[in-house]
Protein backbone atom coordinates (compact mmCIF):
# COMPACT_ATOMS: atom_id res chain seq x y z
CA UNK A 1 0.00 0.00 0.00
CA UNK A 2 1.10 3.58 -0.56
CA UNK A 3 1.11 5.43 2.76
CA UNK A 4 1.91 9.01 3.75
CA UNK A 5 3.46 9.86 7.10
CA UNK A 6 3.38 13.58 7.85
CA UNK A 7 6.10 14.70 10.23
CA UNK A 8 9.79 13.85 10.47
CA UNK A 9 10.12 13.58 14.26
CA UNK A 10 10.43 10.49 16.42
CA UNK A 11 6.80 9.50 15.94
CA UNK A 12 6.86 9.85 12.15
CA UNK A 13 10.13 7.93 11.91
CA UNK A 14 8.87 5.10 14.13
CA UNK A 15 5.61 4.73 12.22
CA UNK A 16 7.22 5.17 8.81
CA UNK A 17 9.88 2.55 9.56
CA UNK A 18 7.32 0.07 10.85
CA UNK A 19 5.21 0.57 7.73
CA UNK A 20 8.19 -0.02 5.42
CA UNK A 21 9.06 -3.13 7.41
CA UNK A 22 5.45 -4.28 6.96
CA UNK A 23 5.96 -4.09 3.18
CA UNK A 24 4.48 -0.70 2.33
CA UNK A 25 5.77 2.22 0.31
CA UNK A 26 6.03 5.26 2.54
CA UNK A 27 6.31 8.95 1.68
CA UNK A 28 7.33 11.03 4.67
CA UNK A 29 6.01 14.56 4.36
CA UNK A 30 7.77 17.69 5.55
CA UNK A 31 7.65 21.41 4.84
CA UNK A 32 10.53 20.92 2.42
CA UNK A 33 11.52 17.82 0.48
CA UNK A 34 15.15 18.22 1.61
CA UNK A 35 14.32 18.07 5.32
CA UNK A 36 17.43 16.65 6.97
CA UNK A 37 15.74 14.20 9.36
CA UNK A 38 13.36 13.02 6.66
CA UNK A 39 16.10 12.54 4.10
CA UNK A 40 18.25 10.58 6.55
CA UNK A 41 15.28 8.42 7.45
CA UNK A 42 14.49 7.71 3.79
CA UNK A 43 18.10 6.96 2.90
CA UNK A 44 18.34 4.42 5.70
CA UNK A 45 15.42 2.42 4.33
CA UNK A 46 15.99 2.25 0.59
CA UNK A 47 13.56 2.51 -2.28
CA UNK A 48 10.36 1.97 -0.30
CA UNK A 49 10.94 5.20 1.61
CA UNK A 50 11.18 8.78 0.43
CA UNK A 51 10.98 12.28 1.91
CA UNK A 52 8.82 14.76 0.01
CA UNK A 53 6.68 17.83 0.68
CA UNK A 54 3.49 17.56 2.71
CA UNK A 55 1.47 17.99 -0.51
CA UNK A 56 3.37 15.33 -2.44
CA UNK A 57 3.16 12.92 0.48
CA UNK A 58 -0.59 13.42 0.84
CA UNK A 59 -1.08 12.99 -2.92
CA UNK A 60 0.97 9.77 -2.80
CA UNK A 61 -0.70 8.19 0.21
CA UNK A 62 -3.83 6.08 0.05
CA UNK A 63 -3.92 6.52 3.81
CA UNK A 64 -2.24 9.27 5.81
CA UNK A 65 -0.72 9.26 9.31
CA UNK A 66 -0.53 12.70 10.89
CA UNK A 67 2.57 12.55 13.10
CA UNK A 68 3.27 16.26 13.06
CA UNK A 69 3.98 18.38 16.10
CA UNK A 70 0.50 19.24 17.36
CA UNK A 71 1.30 22.95 17.32
CA UNK A 72 1.78 22.69 13.55
CA UNK A 73 -0.77 20.04 12.60
CA UNK A 74 -3.37 22.28 11.00
CA UNK A 75 -0.74 24.27 9.10
CA UNK A 76 0.85 21.06 7.86
CA UNK A 77 -2.50 19.63 6.78
CA UNK A 78 -3.39 22.82 4.93
CA UNK A 79 -0.02 22.56 3.17
CA UNK A 80 -0.87 18.95 2.34
CA UNK A 81 -4.03 20.27 0.73
CA UNK A 82 -7.68 19.42 1.18
CA UNK A 83 -7.80 17.94 -2.32
CA UNK A 84 -5.01 15.49 -1.54
CA UNK A 85 -6.73 14.48 1.70
CA UNK A 86 -10.26 14.21 0.31
CA UNK A 87 -11.98 10.88 0.89
CA UNK A 88 -8.87 9.38 2.50
CA UNK A 89 -8.33 8.01 5.96
CA UNK A 90 -6.28 10.32 8.18
CA UNK A 91 -4.94 8.58 11.28
CA UNK A 92 -4.47 11.50 13.61
CA UNK A 93 -1.66 10.79 16.07
CA UNK A 94 -0.62 14.35 16.94
CA UNK A 95 -1.22 15.81 20.39
CA UNK A 96 -1.74 19.54 21.07
CA UNK A 97 1.19 19.81 23.47
CA UNK A 98 2.19 23.35 24.34
CA UNK A 99 5.81 23.69 25.43
CA UNK A 100 5.75 27.49 25.48
CA UNK A 101 5.58 27.61 29.29
CA UNK A 102 8.26 24.98 29.88
CA UNK A 103 8.02 21.42 31.11
CA UNK A 104 5.81 19.59 31.56
CA UNK A 105 3.83 20.91 28.59
CA UNK A 106 0.21 21.96 28.90
CA UNK A 107 -2.31 21.52 26.08
CA UNK A 108 -2.96 24.28 23.57
CA UNK A 109 -6.56 23.12 23.27
CA UNK A 110 -8.66 20.93 25.55
CA UNK A 111 -11.82 20.41 27.57
CA UNK A 112 -14.53 21.69 25.20
CA UNK A 113 -12.67 21.02 21.95
CA UNK A 114 -9.72 18.97 20.75
CA UNK A 115 -7.15 18.94 17.98
CA UNK A 116 -8.83 15.86 16.54
CA UNK A 117 -12.11 17.73 16.23
CA UNK A 118 -10.41 20.80 14.77
CA UNK A 119 -8.81 18.64 12.08
CA UNK A 120 -12.09 16.90 11.25
CA UNK A 121 -13.87 20.28 11.05
CA UNK A 122 -11.14 21.77 8.86
CA UNK A 123 -11.22 18.77 6.48
CA UNK A 124 -14.82 17.55 6.50
CA UNK A 125 -14.30 15.30 3.49
CA UNK A 126 -11.41 13.47 5.14
CA UNK A 127 -12.11 10.43 7.29
CA UNK A 128 -10.32 11.35 10.52
CA UNK A 129 -9.62 8.67 13.12
CA UNK A 130 -7.77 9.66 16.28
CA UNK A 131 -5.51 6.81 17.38
CA UNK A 132 -2.15 5.88 18.91
CA UNK A 133 -1.70 9.24 20.69
CA UNK A 134 -1.86 7.82 24.22
CA UNK A 135 1.51 6.05 24.22
CA UNK A 136 5.18 6.30 23.30
CA UNK A 137 5.98 5.77 19.61
CA UNK A 138 7.99 2.60 20.27
CA UNK A 139 4.87 1.06 21.82
CA UNK A 140 2.60 2.31 19.00
CA UNK A 141 4.41 0.21 16.44
CA UNK A 142 5.37 -2.72 18.67
CA UNK A 143 2.86 -3.35 21.45
CA UNK A 144 4.84 -6.42 22.53
CA UNK A 145 7.35 -4.04 24.12
CA UNK A 146 4.83 -3.77 26.95
CA UNK A 147 3.49 -6.83 28.74
CA UNK A 148 -0.18 -7.69 29.11
CA UNK A 149 -3.35 -6.87 27.24
CA UNK A 150 -2.88 -3.14 27.17
CA UNK A 151 -5.16 -1.01 25.06
CA UNK A 152 -5.25 1.01 21.88
CA UNK A 153 -8.00 3.65 21.81
CA UNK A 154 -9.52 5.15 18.72
CA UNK A 155 -12.38 7.47 17.87
CA UNK A 156 -13.94 9.00 14.79
CA UNK A 157 -17.26 9.75 13.16
CA UNK A 158 -17.53 6.75 10.83
CA UNK A 159 -17.76 3.20 12.17
CA UNK A 160 -16.56 1.50 8.97
CA UNK A 161 -13.51 3.75 8.82
CA UNK A 162 -12.64 3.00 12.43
CA UNK A 163 -12.95 -0.73 11.75
CA UNK A 164 -10.62 -0.37 8.76
CA UNK A 165 -8.06 1.56 10.82
CA UNK A 166 -8.26 -1.02 13.61
CA UNK A 167 -7.64 -3.82 11.10
CA UNK A 168 -4.64 -1.99 9.66
CA UNK A 169 -3.08 -1.23 13.06
CA UNK A 170 -3.50 -4.85 14.12
CA UNK A 171 -2.04 -6.19 10.87
CA UNK A 172 0.80 -3.72 10.51
CA UNK A 173 1.91 -3.14 14.11
CA UNK A 174 0.75 -6.28 15.91
CA UNK A 175 -2.10 -4.96 18.02
CA UNK A 176 -4.53 -7.65 19.17
CA UNK A 177 -8.07 -6.91 17.92
CA UNK A 178 -9.48 -7.56 21.41
CA UNK A 179 -7.30 -4.81 22.85
CA UNK A 180 -8.65 -2.09 20.56
CA UNK A 181 -11.32 0.09 22.22
CA UNK A 182 -13.58 2.32 20.15
CA UNK A 183 -14.45 5.38 22.24
CA UNK A 184 -17.09 6.76 19.90
CA UNK A 185 -17.21 9.83 17.69
CA UNK A 186 -14.41 12.33 17.19
CA UNK A 187 -15.38 14.32 20.29
CA UNK A 188 -13.75 11.49 22.28
CA UNK A 189 -10.46 13.00 21.07
CA UNK A 190 -10.86 15.38 24.03
CA UNK A 191 -10.41 12.57 26.52
CA UNK A 192 -7.66 10.91 24.48
CA UNK A 193 -5.66 14.14 24.29
CA UNK A 194 -6.39 15.17 27.89
CA UNK A 195 -4.84 11.90 29.03
CA UNK A 196 -1.43 13.30 28.08
CA UNK A 197 -0.79 15.23 31.33
CA UNK A 198 -1.33 12.01 33.30
CA UNK A 199 0.81 10.09 30.80
CA UNK A 200 3.65 12.61 31.26
CA UNK A 201 3.48 12.26 35.06
CA UNK A 202 3.48 8.49 34.77
CA UNK A 203 6.56 8.67 32.55
CA UNK A 204 8.30 10.72 35.24
CA UNK A 205 7.20 8.38 38.05
CA UNK A 206 7.96 5.12 36.22
CA UNK A 207 11.26 6.33 34.76
CA UNK A 208 10.50 4.96 31.30
CA UNK A 209 8.13 5.90 28.47
CA UNK A 210 7.67 2.21 27.66
CA UNK A 211 4.36 1.61 29.37
CA UNK A 212 0.74 1.77 28.40
CA UNK A 213 -2.60 1.66 30.12
CA UNK A 214 -4.71 -1.44 30.24
CA UNK A 215 -8.35 -1.42 31.21
CA UNK A 216 -8.94 -3.73 34.16
CA UNK A 217 -12.54 -4.84 34.11
CA UNK A 218 -15.14 -6.06 36.52
CA UNK A 219 -14.11 -9.10 38.44
CA UNK A 220 -16.35 -11.99 37.34
CA UNK A 221 -16.40 -13.48 40.85
CA UNK B 1 -9.92 6.55 64.30
CA UNK B 2 -12.21 9.57 63.98
CA UNK B 3 -12.71 10.43 60.33
CA UNK B 4 -14.65 13.15 58.53
CA UNK B 5 -16.24 12.55 55.14
CA UNK B 6 -17.41 15.76 53.50
CA UNK B 7 -20.25 15.25 51.04
CA UNK B 8 -23.40 13.15 51.18
CA UNK B 9 -23.46 11.84 47.61
CA UNK B 10 -22.60 8.39 46.29
CA UNK B 11 -18.88 8.88 46.83
CA UNK B 12 -19.22 10.11 50.41
CA UNK B 13 -21.63 7.30 51.26
CA UNK B 14 -19.38 4.63 49.76
CA UNK B 15 -16.29 5.89 51.55
CA UNK B 16 -18.10 6.58 54.81
CA UNK B 17 -19.65 3.11 54.85
CA UNK B 18 -16.33 1.41 54.11
CA UNK B 19 -14.67 3.38 56.90
CA UNK B 20 -17.35 2.40 59.43
CA UNK B 21 -17.00 -1.22 58.30
CA UNK B 22 -13.25 -0.91 58.86
CA UNK B 23 -13.94 0.02 62.49
CA UNK B 24 -13.77 3.81 62.41
CA UNK B 25 -16.08 6.51 63.73
CA UNK B 26 -17.28 8.63 60.83
CA UNK B 27 -18.85 12.08 60.76
CA UNK B 28 -20.39 12.88 57.39
CA UNK B 29 -20.37 16.60 56.75
CA UNK B 30 -23.05 18.53 54.91
CA UNK B 31 -24.27 22.12 54.65
CA UNK B 32 -26.91 21.31 57.26
CA UNK B 33 -26.84 18.63 59.96
CA UNK B 34 -30.33 17.47 58.93
CA UNK B 35 -29.33 16.69 55.32
CA UNK B 36 -31.69 13.93 54.22
CA UNK B 37 -29.16 11.69 52.45
CA UNK B 38 -26.63 12.11 55.22
CA UNK B 39 -29.15 11.38 57.95
CA UNK B 40 -30.39 8.25 56.18
CA UNK B 41 -26.82 7.10 55.69
CA UNK B 42 -26.00 7.65 59.38
CA UNK B 43 -29.17 5.94 60.60
CA UNK B 44 -28.38 2.85 58.50
CA UNK B 45 -25.02 2.39 60.19
CA UNK B 46 -25.67 2.96 63.90
CA UNK B 47 -23.60 4.76 66.49
CA UNK B 48 -20.32 4.87 64.58
CA UNK B 49 -21.89 7.13 61.95
CA UNK B 50 -23.40 10.59 62.22
CA UNK B 51 -24.35 13.44 59.91
CA UNK B 52 -23.27 16.91 61.04
CA UNK B 53 -22.29 20.27 59.54
CA UNK B 54 -19.10 20.60 57.47
CA UNK B 55 -17.51 22.48 60.39
CA UNK B 56 -18.45 19.90 63.00
CA UNK B 57 -17.31 17.05 60.77
CA UNK B 58 -13.94 18.70 60.12
CA UNK B 59 -13.50 19.43 63.84
CA UNK B 60 -14.30 15.78 64.63
CA UNK B 61 -12.06 14.16 62.01
CA UNK B 62 -8.41 13.37 62.58
CA UNK B 63 -8.32 12.87 58.81
CA UNK B 64 -10.76 14.29 56.27
CA UNK B 65 -12.02 12.88 52.96
CA UNK B 66 -13.32 15.56 50.58
CA UNK B 67 -16.07 13.79 48.63
CA UNK B 68 -18.02 16.92 47.77
CA UNK B 69 -19.26 17.83 44.33
CA UNK B 70 -16.26 19.51 42.73
CA UNK B 71 -18.28 22.61 41.91
CA UNK B 72 -18.80 23.15 45.65
CA UNK B 73 -15.54 21.85 47.10
CA UNK B 74 -13.95 25.17 47.98
CA UNK B 75 -17.18 26.55 49.44
CA UNK B 76 -17.63 23.39 51.50
CA UNK B 77 -14.05 23.51 52.74
CA UNK B 78 -14.37 27.16 53.70
CA UNK B 79 -17.52 26.21 55.64
CA UNK B 80 -15.52 23.44 57.28
CA UNK B 81 -13.09 26.13 58.39
CA UNK B 82 -9.35 26.52 57.99
CA UNK B 83 -8.87 26.07 61.72
CA UNK B 84 -10.61 22.70 61.72
CA UNK B 85 -8.50 21.57 58.75
CA UNK B 86 -5.17 22.89 60.01
CA UNK B 87 -2.38 20.32 60.17
CA UNK B 88 -4.70 17.50 59.14
CA UNK B 89 -4.60 15.20 56.14
CA UNK B 90 -7.23 16.04 53.52
CA UNK B 91 -7.75 13.24 51.01
CA UNK B 92 -9.10 15.14 48.05
CA UNK B 93 -11.38 12.91 45.99
CA UNK B 94 -13.56 15.56 44.32
CA UNK B 95 -13.33 16.24 40.58
CA UNK B 96 -14.11 19.64 38.98
CA UNK B 97 -16.83 18.27 36.72
CA UNK B 98 -18.95 20.92 35.04
CA UNK B 99 -22.42 19.71 34.06
CA UNK B 100 -23.68 23.16 33.06
CA UNK B 101 -23.38 22.37 29.35
CA UNK B 102 -24.97 18.94 29.53
CA UNK B 103 -23.45 15.51 29.22
CA UNK B 104 -20.73 14.48 29.13
CA UNK B 105 -19.47 17.09 31.60
CA UNK B 106 -16.42 19.22 30.89
CA UNK B 107 -14.03 20.37 33.60
CA UNK B 108 -14.49 23.73 35.33
CA UNK B 109 -10.72 23.98 35.73
CA UNK B 110 -7.90 22.17 33.98
CA UNK B 111 -4.66 22.29 32.02
CA UNK B 112 -2.66 24.98 33.85
CA UNK B 113 -4.32 24.51 37.24
CA UNK B 114 -6.44 21.94 39.05
CA UNK B 115 -8.95 21.72 41.86
CA UNK B 116 -6.39 19.85 43.93
CA UNK B 117 -3.95 22.75 43.63
CA UNK B 118 -6.67 25.30 44.36
CA UNK B 119 -7.54 23.48 47.56
CA UNK B 120 -3.90 23.24 48.65
CA UNK B 121 -3.40 26.96 47.92
CA UNK B 122 -6.57 27.92 49.80
CA UNK B 123 -5.57 25.82 52.84
CA UNK B 124 -1.77 25.95 52.95
CA UNK B 125 -1.62 24.47 56.46
CA UNK B 126 -3.63 21.41 55.46
CA UNK B 127 -1.83 18.36 54.08
CA UNK B 128 -3.70 17.77 50.81
CA UNK B 129 -3.32 14.46 48.99
CA UNK B 130 -5.25 13.94 45.77
CA UNK B 131 -6.34 10.32 45.53
CA UNK B 132 -9.11 7.94 44.44
CA UNK B 133 -10.59 10.38 41.90
CA UNK B 134 -9.81 8.27 38.82
CA UNK B 135 -12.36 5.51 39.42
CA UNK B 136 -15.92 4.71 40.40
CA UNK B 137 -16.65 4.86 44.14
CA UNK B 138 -17.42 1.12 44.38
CA UNK B 139 -13.90 0.44 43.13
CA UNK B 140 -12.34 3.05 45.43
CA UNK B 141 -13.43 1.16 48.52
CA UNK B 142 -13.22 -2.38 47.12
CA UNK B 143 -10.52 -2.78 44.48
CA UNK B 144 -11.26 -6.51 44.30
CA UNK B 145 -14.36 -5.63 42.26
CA UNK B 146 -11.97 -5.20 39.34
CA UNK B 147 -9.58 -7.95 38.32
CA UNK B 148 -5.83 -7.56 37.99
CA UNK B 149 -3.21 -5.28 39.47
CA UNK B 150 -4.96 -2.04 38.63
CA UNK B 151 -3.63 1.20 40.04
CA UNK B 152 -4.39 3.86 42.60
CA UNK B 153 -2.72 7.20 41.90
CA UNK B 154 -1.94 9.86 44.45
CA UNK B 155 -0.09 13.16 44.56
CA UNK B 156 0.70 15.83 47.09
CA UNK B 157 3.48 18.06 48.34
CA UNK B 158 4.65 16.01 51.33
CA UNK B 159 6.17 12.56 50.91
CA UNK B 160 5.48 11.39 54.47
CA UNK B 161 1.84 12.42 54.21
CA UNK B 162 1.44 10.53 50.93
CA UNK B 163 2.99 7.44 52.49
CA UNK B 164 0.56 7.70 55.41
CA UNK B 165 -2.42 8.06 53.05
CA UNK B 166 -1.23 5.11 50.97
CA UNK B 167 -0.94 2.98 54.13
CA UNK B 168 -4.46 3.96 55.19
CA UNK B 169 -6.04 3.27 51.80
CA UNK B 170 -4.34 -0.13 51.65
CA UNK B 171 -5.38 -1.06 55.17
CA UNK B 172 -8.92 0.30 55.07
CA UNK B 173 -10.02 -0.45 51.49
CA UNK B 174 -7.77 -3.34 50.47
CA UNK B 175 -5.45 -1.68 47.96
CA UNK B 176 -2.21 -3.56 47.41
CA UNK B 177 0.82 -1.37 48.27
CA UNK B 178 2.51 -2.35 45.00
CA UNK B 179 -0.42 -0.95 43.02
CA UNK B 180 -0.19 2.56 44.51
CA UNK B 181 1.64 5.02 42.23
CA UNK B 182 2.90 8.34 43.60
CA UNK B 183 2.74 10.90 40.78
CA UNK B 184 4.65 13.65 42.56
CA UNK B 185 3.61 16.99 43.93
CA UNK B 186 0.11 18.43 43.95
CA UNK B 187 0.45 19.78 40.40
CA UNK B 188 -0.01 16.18 39.25
CA UNK B 189 -3.67 16.71 40.19
CA UNK B 190 -3.97 18.27 36.71
CA UNK B 191 -3.33 14.96 35.02
CA UNK B 192 -5.41 13.01 37.53
CA UNK B 193 -8.41 15.30 37.03
CA UNK B 194 -7.93 15.59 33.24
CA UNK B 195 -8.21 11.81 33.02
CA UNK B 196 -11.94 12.15 33.73
CA UNK B 197 -13.05 12.87 30.15
CA UNK B 198 -11.35 9.63 29.01
CA UNK B 199 -12.82 7.78 31.99
CA UNK B 200 -16.32 8.97 31.06
CA UNK B 201 -15.86 7.78 27.46
CA UNK B 202 -14.57 4.43 28.68
CA UNK B 203 -17.63 4.08 30.91
CA UNK B 204 -19.86 4.67 27.88
CA UNK B 205 -17.89 2.24 25.69
CA UNK B 206 -17.56 -0.52 28.29
CA UNK B 207 -21.13 -0.20 29.55
CA UNK B 208 -20.10 -0.32 33.21
CA UNK B 209 -18.34 2.03 35.62
CA UNK B 210 -16.67 -0.93 37.31
CA UNK B 211 -13.29 -0.76 35.65
CA UNK B 212 -9.98 0.86 36.38
CA UNK B 213 -6.73 1.48 34.60
CA UNK B 214 -3.68 -0.62 35.14
CA UNK B 215 -0.21 0.42 34.05
CA UNK B 216 1.23 -2.21 31.73
CA UNK B 217 5.01 -1.96 31.90
CA UNK B 218 7.98 -2.77 29.77
CA UNK B 219 8.15 -6.37 28.69
CA UNK B 220 11.19 -7.91 30.41
CA UNK B 221 11.94 -10.10 27.37
CB B44 within 8 A of CB B106: no
Question: Is A144 in the B-facing interface, judged by CB distances under 8 Å?
Answer: yes
How far apart CA B54 and CA B83 sit, in angstroms, is 12
Closest CA to B202 of B214, B216, B188: B214
Per the CB < 8 Å rule, is B219 touching A111? no
Question: Is A212 in the B-facing interface, judged by CB distances under 8 Å?
Answer: yes
Q: Looking at domain B2-206, does it have CATH number 3.40.50.720?
A: yes
- For residue B141, give the 3-state DSSP assignment: helix
Q: How far is A51 from chain B (nearest CA, A)?
A: 32
pLDDT over threshold 60, residue A204 = yes
- Angular region, A7: left φ>0, alpha ψ -120 to 50, beta rest: left
Per the CB < 8 Å rule, is B219 touching A112? no
Instruction: Give contacts of B207 with chain A, Cβ < 8 Å.
Output: none
Per the CB < 8 Å rule, is A216 touching B188? no
DSSP secondary structure string, B169-218? Answer: HHHHH---GGGEEE--SGGGHHHHHHTHHHHHHHHHHHT-S--EEEEE-B
Find out whether the peptide bond into B130 is cis, omega within 30 degrees of 0. Answer: no
**Cross-chain CB nearest to B110 (options A110, A148, A150):** A110
> What's the pLDDT band for A221 if we cut at 50, 70, 90?
low
> What's the pLDDT band for A81 if we cut at 50, 70, 90?
very high
Q: What percent of chain A has pLDDT over 90?
A: 96
At residue A142, the pLDDT reads 98
Q: Which helix (H) or strand (E) holds B15?
A: helix B10-21
CB A205 within 8 A of CB B153: no
How far apart CA A81 and CA A60 sit, in angstroms, is 12
At residue A219, the pLDDT reads 75
What pLDDT tens digit does each residue of chain B (221 aa) get? 999 999 999 999 999 999 999 999 999 999 999 999 999 999 999 999 999 999 999 999 999 999 999 999 999 999 999 999 999 999 999 999 999 988 899 999 999 999 999 999 999 999 999 999 999 999 999 999 999 999 999 999 999 999 999 999 999 999 999 999 999 999 999 999 999 999 999 999 999 999 999 999 987 75
In SS3 terms, A122-169 reads as HCCCCEEEEECCCCCHHHHHCHHHECCCCCEEEEECCHHHHHHHHHHH
How far apart CA A152 and CA B167 sit, in angstroms, is 33
At residue A213, the pLDDT reads 97
**Cross-chain CB nearest to B192 (options A198, A214, A216):** A198
Instruction: Give contacts of B201 with chain A, Cβ < 8 Å.
Output: 155, 183-184, 188, 191
Q: For chain B, report the end-to-end CA distance as a whole number of angstroms.
A: 46
Per the CB < 8 Å rule, is B206 touching A195? no
**CB within 8 Å of chain A, chain B residues 167-196:** 181-184, 188, 190-192, 194-195
Question: Is B200 in the A-facing interface, judged by CB distances under 8 Å?
Answer: yes
User: Chain B residue with minimal CA distance to A111?
Assistant: B106
How far apart CA B14 and CA A39 sit, in angstroms, is 58
Under DSSP, the state recorded for B4 is E
Look at the alpha carbons of A114, A116, A118, A124 in this order and tell me if their dihedral is positive or negative.
Answer: negative
Give tens-digit pLDDT for A146-185.
999 999 999 999 999 999 999 999 999 999 999 999 999 9
Tell me, what's the ipTM? 0.96
**C-alpha distances in Å from residue B92, one per residue of B35, B41, B155:** 22, 21, 10
Under DSSP, the state recorded for B93 is -
Question: Is A159 in the B-facing interface, judged by CB distances under 8 Å?
Answer: no
Give tens-digit pLDDT for A96-140.
999 998 889 999 999 999 999 999 999 999 999 999 999 999 999
| Mean pLDDT (chain A, rounded) | 97
Closest CA to B93 of B26, B27, B10, B35: B10
- Chain A and chain B share a number of CB contacts under 8 A equal to 141
pLDDT over threshold 70, residue A86 = yes
How far apart CA A4 and CA A90 sit, in angstroms, is 9
Q: How far is A12 from chain B (nearest CA, A)?
A: 22
Question: Is B212 in the A-facing interface, judged by CB distances under 8 Å?
Answer: yes
Closest CA to B212 of A219, A137, A52: A219
Q: How far is A31 from chain B (nearest CA, A)?
A: 30
How far apart CA A1 and CA B118 sit, in angstroms, is 52
* Whether pTM exceeds 0.95: yes
A23 Cβ neighbours under 8 A, 6+ residues apart:
none
Would you list the domain boundaries of chain B? 2-206
How far apart CA A51 and CA A42 sit, in angstroms, is 6
Alpha helices, DSSP H, located in B33-147: 36-45, 54-60, 73-80, 82-85, 115-122, 137-141
Per the CB < 8 Å rule, is B218 touching A146? yes
Closest CA to B154 of B175, B171, B174: B175
**CB within 8 Å of chain B, chain A residues 86-125:** 101, 106-107, 110-112
Per the CB < 8 Å rule, is A217 touching B211? yes
Cα torsion through B66, B72, B78, B84, rounded to 10: -20
How far apart CA A70 and CA A74 sit, in angstroms, is 8
**Cross-chain CB nearest to A197 (options B190, B205, B213):** B190
Closest CA to A116 of A168, A160, A77, A172: A77
Q: How far is B217 from chain A (nearest CA, A)?
A: 4
Amino acid sequence: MKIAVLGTGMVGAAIGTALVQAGHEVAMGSRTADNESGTQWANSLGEAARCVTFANAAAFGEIIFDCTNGANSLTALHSAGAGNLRGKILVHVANPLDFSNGMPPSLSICNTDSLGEQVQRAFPETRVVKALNTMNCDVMVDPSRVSGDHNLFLCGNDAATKAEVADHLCAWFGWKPGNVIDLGDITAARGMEMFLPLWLRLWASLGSPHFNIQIARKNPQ
